[in-house]
Amino acid sequence: MKRFLTSGIFVLAFSTYALYQYFGSASVTYSAQNTAAPSGQTAGNQAIVQAAPVAIPAPAPSAPSPIASAPVPTPAPVPTPAPTPAAAPKPQGQYIDGTYTGSSANAYYGYVEVQVSVSGGKIADVQFLQYPSDRSTSRYINSQAMPILRSEAIQAQSASVDGVSGASDTSAAFRESLASALAQAKS
- pLDDT, position 92: 62
Delimiting residues of CATH 3.90.1010.20 domain(s) in the chain: 98-186
- pLDDT, position 57: 62
- pLDDT, position 64: 57
Q: Which residue has the higher pLDDT, 45 or 71?
A: 71
Residue 111 has pLDDT above 50, yes or no: yes
pLDDT in tens, 150-174: 999 999 999 999 999 999 999 999 9
- pLDDT, position 67: 57
Burial class (CB in 10 A: 0-12, 13-18, 19+), 160: exposed
- pLDDT, position 77: 73
> Phi-psi bin for 40: left (phi > 0), alpha (psi -120 to 50), beta?
left
| Measured distance CA(111)–CA(99) in Å, rounded | 20
| Measured distance CA(127)–CA(147) in Å, rounded | 10
- pLDDT, position 6: 75
Q: Do residues 101 and 183 make contact, with C-beta atoms less than 8 angstroms apart?
A: no
- Arithmetic mean of pLDDT over the chain: 78
DSSP line for 152-178? HHHHHTSS--PPPTT-HHHHHHHHHHH
pLDDT in tens, 7-27: 778 777 777 777 777 776 544
- pLDDT, position 63: 58
Quote the pTM value: 0.52
| Measured distance CA(19)–CA(24) in Å, rounded | 8
pLDDT in tens, 55-108: 666 666 655 555 555 566 677 777 777 666 665 554 567 899 999 999 999 999
| Measured distance CA(66)–CA(157) in Å, rounded | 75
CATH number of this structure's domain 98-186? 3.90.1010.20
**CA torsion through residues 104, 105, 111, 113, sign:** negative
- pLDDT, position 104: 96
Residue whose C-alpha is closest to residue 171's, from 147, 155, 187: 147
| Measured distance CA(133)–CA(140) in Å, rounded | 9
Instruction: Give residue 70's identity as a one-letter amino acid code.
Output: A
